[in-house]
Amino acid sequence: MSHALAQLFCLAGFVALAFGLRRPQHDILRRSLRRPVVLALRAIGTCALLAALAILVAVSGWGFGLVKFSGHTTLAAALVYGALIGYGRRSAPRLRS
């Protein structure tokens, strides 16, 4: 149960951090978000990642908890990055040869 919850927090954290950047905002939303919203997204993303770290360290201790956190963040970042690439390729204009 702790793995699923930690993975959910990591995924939510990286999604929030991705939307806190200008390029994904333009690619997906077609506009820039206001500065307070961007700062809130970055804070939410950071807090979500820290919550995931806290869950894993509480369950497994510092030594193995940090290793688990590294794995969860790697998987979550890869999923978010892959989704952004997939969305960019799907919405990109097609070039005809």
Domain boundaries, the chain: 2-91
Indicate the range of 28-32, 60-64, 74-78 predicted with least confidence: 28-32
Examine the pLDDT at 36 and tell me if it is beyond 80: yes
The 10 Å Cβ neighbour count of residue 11 is 19
**What is residue 97's predicted lDDT score, i.e. its pLDDT?**
57
CA distance 61 to 59: 6
* Nearest by Cα to 41 from 12, 4, 72: 12
* pTM, full prediction: 0.87
Q: Is the pLDDT of residue 66 over 60?
A: yes
